[in-house]
Amino acid sequence: MSDMEVLTAKIIEHASHLPESAPLTARELLHLGGRAAVDQALSRLVRRGKLVRVGRGIYVRLVEGRFGIRHPVASKVVEAMARQRGEQLAPHGAVAANQLGLTTQVPMREIYLTSGRSRRLKVGVQTIELRHVSAWQLILPGRPAGAAIRALAWLGPRRAGGSLQAIQQNLPPVEIKALLDVRARLPTWMAQAVSALANR
């Protein structure tokens, strides 16, 4: 077996111990060989259908199930990358607005807001866009109050006031309080809109 075949086998062995959708980069494989050899082995594994390249220098293992080989779930790939890089991540404001009943619109493609750099990833036929945003847009991740912030940011200053009644109806009191508690971190126009909730 050639050195390249040995390296390729070691990379597959390493990848097999990672959770489904976990990203794999050349830098984390340098204990197995030199950079050029690792890059070559990764390219070889993509050609063989063992890995898929989702972005520049980022790979994920294809998933083997009882119905054959498939790509990993795109949203899980994005979430795993964010965890690995220490980035904050949140759904796009249009998605948040839709969840809160403020709009029927949803983005045509999957878009996430991130504290990292803007970029696009391709998982199978799906393209995912990551958009860098200011820190205030990522406040209260995973909470309905945070979704309200992202929805208001997407709606913008002119439409924010008209959405307050729906936000109040859709958020429990504890989330309204959380929203009011972070007013100082929001832009002035949004802080003013959110403050109106205290008087309702």
pLDDT in tens, 63-97: 877 777 788 888 888 888 888 888 999 999 999 89
Structure confidence at residue 187 (pLDDT)? 95
Phi-psi region of 57 (alpha: psi -120 to 50; beta: other; left: phi over 0): left
Q: Are the CB atoms for 21 and 59 separated by under 8 Å?
A: no
Tell me the C-alpha to C-alpha distance, in Å, between residue 171 and each of 34, 68, 105, 165, 185.
53, 42, 20, 10, 20
Question: Which pLDDT belongs to residue 200?
Answer: 60
- Identify how many contiguous H helices and E strands the chain contains and give both numbers: 9, 9
> Quick check: 104 pLDDT over 70?
yes
Contact 160, 109 (CB under 8 A): no
Q: What is the DSSP letter of 136?
A: G
Instruction: Look at the chain and count its residues.
Output: 200
Instruction: Dump pLDDT digits (tens) for 109-165.
Output: 789 999 999 999 888 788 899 999 999 999 999 899 999 999 999 999 988 888 888
Please name each of the domains of the chain with its CATH number.
3-70 (1.10.10.10), 74-199 (no CATH)
Tell me: the pLDDT tens digits for 24-69? 888 888 888 888 889 999 999 988 888 888 888 888 888 877 777 7
pTM confidence score: 0.78
